[in-house]
A and B are shown apart, each in its own frame.
Chain A
Amino acid sequence: MTSAQFEIQLIASLVAIACAIPGTFLVLRKMAMISDAISHSILPGIVIGFFITQDLNSPLLILLAAITGIITVVLVEYIQKTGLVKEDTAIGLVFPILFSIGVILIAKNANDVHLDVDAVLLGELAFAPFDRVLAFGVDLGPKSLWVIGSILIITIGLLIAFFKELKISTFDAGLAASLGFSPIGIHYGLMTMSSITTVGAFDAVGAILVVALMIAPAATAYLLTNDLKRMLLYSIGFGVFCALSGYWLAHGLDASIAGSITTMLGLVFLLVYLFAPNKGVLAVIYREKQQRTEVSLLTFLLHLKNHSEESERHVNHLNEHINWQKVRAKTVLDLALKNNMIQFDKNIVSLTTKGEAFTSQAIDYIITNEDGKIEHMKEDFFLFRG
């Protein structure tokens, strides 16, 4: 591994961490799309900054771009407050218009300078090590490393200092306000940090990868845990893992690093989306199936309890009365037998004592509108579940 390779991986990992932290809060606050809007609408800020400084890495440029990001947020909120359109429409209107202004500014003024839209949107990590900071003739490392490093340090500092405030205002804005923190202040602080991170990272990795690095690790982590600290750690972990593996994927394929990192993020998300223990799609489908069987079982038991007359409890009658498909009926019957809820007596089905007890209790809960408690009851009565 050459030093350039090492530097690229270091930059990618730092960007991943710097993005994962604000990203977690954006996902939790249902503002993920704002990061996409910011990543596009900073373009006019970057262009104007570039005209003034003629340098893509100057702090002024980052400042101007971050201000444009905040203007985006303010504009979206203003339009939304007028009540003329909904929030998502406001987002969808503001950023393409700002982006268009940026594109036109470039087209009209920057023909002879090196700044094009592709570079801003897509970025190229491979060139990052070539742009170095020199002080007194000493090579201090790549410029983007310094930029993203300082942004990361600020982010971590703010996170530690305001962790409690962030947490409360994210989950209960009303409580935060009544405790005396300003949710609006926290909101704009978070937006500012997201803008600065986006700007700081865009020139290394491009606007789209910034969005991916903000949303994907946080969303993946959110499928695995409900604990804020764990979610932060997981998303940082996923981000760094994908940054490193993505780099080597790009190395192997000789393709865009940003694209490979995003692809890795996509693969990791897909895996977790399918196989996450409680919230993954397969787990959800399995649980839904289980619940369907159990509800059927409950219906069946209630039917048995309601009808003391033998004719209603005859197997043939049940067949036509409940009108389930054969497979489903068999599953339900098996489950009931396995749990000792019913017994057969010459083709007449009747409840056992245990079945009686279970059903009476379930009826009690249904009558008093406490259906939720049935779930716990199942644990007491069922040896096997659907």
Chain B
Amino acid sequence: MDLQEYIQLVFTDYTLRTITLGTAILGAVTGMLGSFAVLRKQSLLGDAISHAALPGIAVAFLITGTKDSNILLLGALISGLIGTFWIRGIIKKTHLKSDTALGLILSLFFGFGMLLLTLIQKQPNANQAGLDKYLFGQAATLVESDVWMMTLVTGLCLIVLLLFWKEFKILLFDADYTKTLGFNTKLIDILITSFIVLAIVLGLQTVGVVLMSAMLLAPAAAARQWTNSLGVMVLLAALFGAFSGVLGTAISASQNNLSTGPVIVIIAGVFVLFSFIFSPSRGLLFKQIRFIKNRRDLKLHKTLAFMFRIAETHENIAHPHSIKILNNFQGFTKGTLQQLVRKNYVKLEGSMWSLTDTGFKTATNLYNQQNKDDD
């Protein structure tokens, strides 16, 4: 299947269109809210909540007996919120740390959910099959109403983000200051946390419990590398998320036996890896290049300083010296010498070198930052 054919199929085929749209919207909304989770150092909250949502799904099914995904998601939302607030309670009221609280709620809720699921499986109700799709996610089960639901939540989330942008931003970076300004920090905090929970619950059906945390974090972590501005980061994260969704769906649709969730996560992981390496200001590659360049500059300065010490002893600073005497110390290479010539600090004549006027001036100011001029 070539690309053109595939794109055509996306527009004509109902299932493929629904899934592509669904994963794209999901990626965008989780990316947006994930930015806040990452910056608030709540990255693992996503993992904990997605696990904690399981008993809610089971209970919702036990009560209603139907498999309407909206009702199940409501159950998931409630139990996710209970989990979140219990985590906060544990951290606030006891001396247990946040990692323990997260791990506790995650495993205990999930285990309880498993207990309920096995109980449900015993029921004569034939409706129960397929509840376990929430464990690993099945994008293929997305229908148009699910996509509408996602769009609705995303729109709501956008409105709230735009309305409370200032509050969210200030709470993110300086919680104490926010409090002194008279904002109700608790309310803002609860609002943003609830939206994160909502986004996670929304993604359960598509990518499942285990992979949800990556959906939340990866786009945000990738976006963080490219910018220092919150607005740009949220926008970029939404874009990355949407792209991972579309690309992941495309790849898994073009191959047999590939479930969509894991492929989306791996694509998002590739985005993260790419950003980690190639981001201009924070990326590992450019950091390494800067590091090497700095080291080379240092060596250059060292050579220049050594030459300066020699030239200093002569009345005429341009007095030529043999290159050989430079061998007496480390740090001199042909490369650095060439560089010095190129910068017009040093003149080379045969096997002799001499300092130029600019070279002498630079060398005088080398360890004297006061009259520094960049060249």
Contacts and interface: CB of A to CB of B under 8 A. Distances in A.
Contact of B108 (A36, A250, A269, A284): A269
A211 B132 CA distance: 20
Interface stretch (B171-179, B214-222, B231-239, B304-312): B214-222
Contact of A254 (B89, B99, B122): B122
13 contacts: A33-B102, A84-B276, A85-B221, A88-B42, A88-B43, A92-B43, A100-B269, A122-B114, A215-B103, A219-B96, A266-B111, A281-B94, A284-B94
A36 B111 contact: no
Interface in A172-228: 208-209, 211-212, 214-216, 218-219, 222-223
B99 A31 contact: yes
B111 A258 contact: yes
Interface of B: 38, 41-44, 46-47, 51, 89-90, 93-97, 99-100, 102-104, 106-119, 122, 132, 135-136, 210-211, 213-214, 216-218, 221, 224-225, 257-259, 261-263, 265-266, 269, 272, 276, 282, 284
A212 B218 contact: no
Nearest to A261: B111
A273 B91 CA distance: 11
Nearest to A108: B257
Given A89-B221, A261-B111, A262-B114, 18 more contacts: A32-B99, A82-B284, A85-B224, A96-B214, A97-B266, A99-B210, A99-B262, A107-B259, A107-B262, A121-B210, A208-B110, A218-B100, A250-B115, A255-B119, A256-B114, A259-B111, A273-B94, A281-B93
A88 B41 contact: yes
A191 to B, nearest CB: 15
A30 B42 CA distance: 15
A100 B210 CA distance: 9
Given A36-B106, A84-B282, A216-B104, A284 B93 contact: yes
Given A36-B47, A108-B258, A256-B114, A215 B107 contact: yes
A104 interface: yes
Nearest to B270: A97
A263 interface: yes
A206 B93 CA distance: 31
B30 to A, nearest CB: 12
Contact of B211 (A31, A33, A100): A100
Contacts of B265: 96-97, 100
A333 B112 CA distance: 49
Contacts of A208: 51, 107, 110-111, 114
Contacts of A30: 97, 99-100
A318 interface: no
Contacts of A218: 100
Nearest to B105: A266
Contacts of B111: 208-209, 212, 258-259, 261-263, 265-266
Interface residues of A, number: 64
B141 to A, nearest CB: 17
Contacts of B136: 103, 117
Contacts of A84: 221, 224-225, 276, 282, 284
A212 B110 CA distance: 9
B211 A36 contact: no
Given A118-B135, A258-B114, A91 B43 contact: yes
Contacts of B38: 85-86, 89
Most buried by B among A215, A222, A261: A215
A280 B269 CA distance: 41
Contact of B135 (A79, A82, A97, A121): A121
Contacts of A377: none
Given A122-B114, A209-B111, A100 B102 contact: no
Contacts of B46: 92
B315 to A, nearest CB: 51
A279 interface: yes
Contacts of B44: 33, 88, 91-92
B100 A27 contact: yes
A86 B112 contact: no
Contacts of A79: 276
Contact of B217 (A93, A111, A285): A93
B107 A212 contact: yes
Contact of A256 (B94, B118, B266, B272): B118
B96 A222 contact: yes
A260 B221 contact: no
A262 B266 CA distance: 31
Contacts of B135: 118, 121
A246 to B, nearest CB: 9
A40 interface: yes
Interface string A74-94: 000001001011101101110
B265 to A, nearest CB: 4
